[in-house]
Amino acid sequence: MDQKQSNTQFIKQKAKELGFFYCGISKAGFLEEEADHLEAWLKRSYNGKMSYMENHFDKRLDPTLLVDDAKSVVSLLLNYYPEERLPEGNNDLKISKYAYGTDYHFVIKDKLKQLLRVVQEKIGEVNGRVFVDSAPVMDKVWAKKSGLGWIGKNTNLIHPKSGSFFFIAELILDLELEIDGPIKDYCGTCTKCIDECPTDAIVEPYVVDGSKCISYLTIELKDELLPREFNGKMDNWFFGCDICQDVCPWNRFSKPTSEPSFAPSSALKNMSGNDWQDLTEEVFRELFKNSAVKRTKYTGLKRNINFLTNKEK
């Protein structure tokens, strides 16, 4: 076995030990095909008011602008599928499964830093950076290139053995590694995600109008009020949305995560429809102390709850 193979095996083994359930590697370079797609998507204003999507266009497409002399993109998947769902009765407001527990940015960044550290200890002088959904990196594209799944019609990455309830992270290194190739698209003729989206955000297969997506409306959109056109179409989701994943046949293969940080607290599990309507800032701070939900702030979450319960101020 040569040094490149040895280093590759070492990284994949360490990633597994840290809890990542899949690891794939692709060659760092300019994403030529994606440049046209991204430009067209932005021209159609499908990013809504997410103006940051227009920033760092070149960096989004070229990892060598993020890490000097980058040679490899190590893509990693971390499962967050919960052992039990929070209540989803007729009157229960719903929160996306990825936000049940501790903010994934903290959990994954810690694991990635450990991985980079052991790589540097074992291999020597390796320059690299860790990325968790907080920098201009097209994580789904890199994961697809490294064989960790295909990008489905709902634009989520789908793994043929594990569905799509996972986080994607990257380690960009100036180290040459063994490259994994992409796999084929297995969506076939299925259109369940398109058919079931209540806001018609999936405007055509593989294209999402972000400005219509419930996740965008409840998290990214910072307006004081939600657009009236979505009244009665939010299906009780007040932070994020899982519909296009819940209906995807490939998610029958999802298995509960072994990461304890992603489990919901007992306080969150006990929240009911009335509790959400009566939510105070103090309870919000306690419930979501280390949670991704903090991103909406109390005022944003109350806006969403009031919209869903027809109690807008």
Listed residue (159, 213, 173, 194) closest to 7, CA to CA: 173
Measured between alpha carbons, how far is 184 from 239 in angstroms, rounded to an integer? 32
**What is the Rg, in whole angstroms, of the alpha carbon atoms belonging to the chain?**
20
Q: How many CA atoms lie within 13 A of 132 on its CB side?
A: 16
Decide if 181 contacts 147 (C-beta within 8 A). yes
Is 68 known to be catalytic?
no
Listed residue (146, 159, 132) closest to 12, CA to CA: 146
Backbone angles phi and psi of 2, in degrees to 5:
-80, 175
Burial label for 49, CB within 10 Å (0-12, 13-18, 19+), is: middle
Q: In the chain, what is the straight-line distance between the N-terminal and C-terminal CA atoms, in Å?
A: 67
Measured between alpha carbons, how far is 253 from 80 in angstroms, rounded to an integer? 13
Measured between alpha carbons, how far is 17 from 114 in angstroms, rounded to an integer? 11
**Catalytic residue chosen out of the listed positions 92, 133, 235, 246:** 133
Active site amino acids: 133
